[in-house]
């Protein structure tokens, strides 16, 4: 790998091998991140959501997303385990599916973007899991970071 790439991709050492970044010297700061996912489904599936024999898919997805945010370091190899101070998953029905927005916050030495994204993806997967018997063609779409605050790079917000 070139030095320019390894400088930007801190999860690689000088030889190009994957590594966990040492954040010991970084100051503890307030950090937050918000993420988004959309689960596209047919009107028939949307109508059946509240009569699902497995339970309310939206509430189960909300709880699953929160749990996933807390376990991100167990799922993503180079993520640091973070003491989250807040995790929230909002799940809203829309005409074409379920919109999921997540928030993760911490006071720490590294950001919580992956926690917010993991929460959104697992919440979306949970909606799929609980409704797949009605339609295997349900799509998980538009998983992305909405914004992040804190840390050396400061704030960032997605331009829509």
Tell me if 128 sits within 8 A of 9, measured CB to CB. no
Tell me, yes or no, whether 14 lies in a domain: no
Tell me, yes or no, whether 20 lies in a domain: no
What are the pLDDT digits (tens) for 128-155? 999 999 999 999 999 999 999 998 889 9
74 catalytically annotated: no
What are the pLDDT digits (tens) for 22-78? 888 888 999 999 999 999 999 999 999 988 888 899 999 999 999 999 999 999 998
| Enclosing domain of residue 112 | 26-150
Tell me, yes or no, whether 71 lies in a domain: yes
> What single DSSP character describes residue 12?
B
What does the chain come to in residues?
Answer: 160
Tell me, yes or no, whether 118 lies in a domain: yes
What are the pLDDT digits (tens) for 28-38? 999 999 999 99
- Strands 97-108 and 29-40, by their bridges, are antiparallel
Tell me, yes or no, whether 16 lies in a domain: no
Among candidate residues 90, 129, 135, 142, the one labeled active-site is: 129
Q: Please state, in angstroms and rounded to a whole number, the distance separating the CA atoms of residues 23 and 31.
A: 14
CATH number at residue 49: 3.30.70.640
pLDDT at 5: 40
pLDDT category at 21 given cuts 50, 70, 90 is confident
- Indicate the number of domains in the chain: 1
Tell me, yes or no, whether 3 lies in a domain: no
């Amino acid at each position: 790998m070139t030095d320019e790439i390894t400088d930007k991709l801190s999860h690689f050492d000088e030889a190009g091998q994957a590594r966990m970044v040492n954040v010991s010297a970084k100051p503890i700061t307030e950090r937050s991140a918000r993420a988004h996912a959309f689960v596209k489904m047919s009107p028939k599936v949307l109508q059946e959501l509240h009569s699902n024999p497995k339970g309310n898919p939206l509430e189960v997805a909300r709880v699953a997303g929160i749990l996933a945010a807390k376990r991100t370091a167990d799922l993503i190899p180079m993520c640091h385990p973070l003491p989250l101070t807040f995790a929230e998953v909002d799940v809203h029905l829309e005409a074409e599916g379920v919109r999921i927005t997540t928030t993760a916050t911490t006071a720490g030495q590294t950001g919580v973007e992956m926690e917010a994204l993991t929460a959104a993806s697992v919440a979306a997967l949970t909606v799929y899991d609980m409704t797949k018997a009605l339609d295997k063609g349900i799509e998980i779409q538009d998983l992305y970071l909405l914004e992040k605050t804190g840390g050396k790079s400061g704030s960032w917000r997605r331009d829509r």
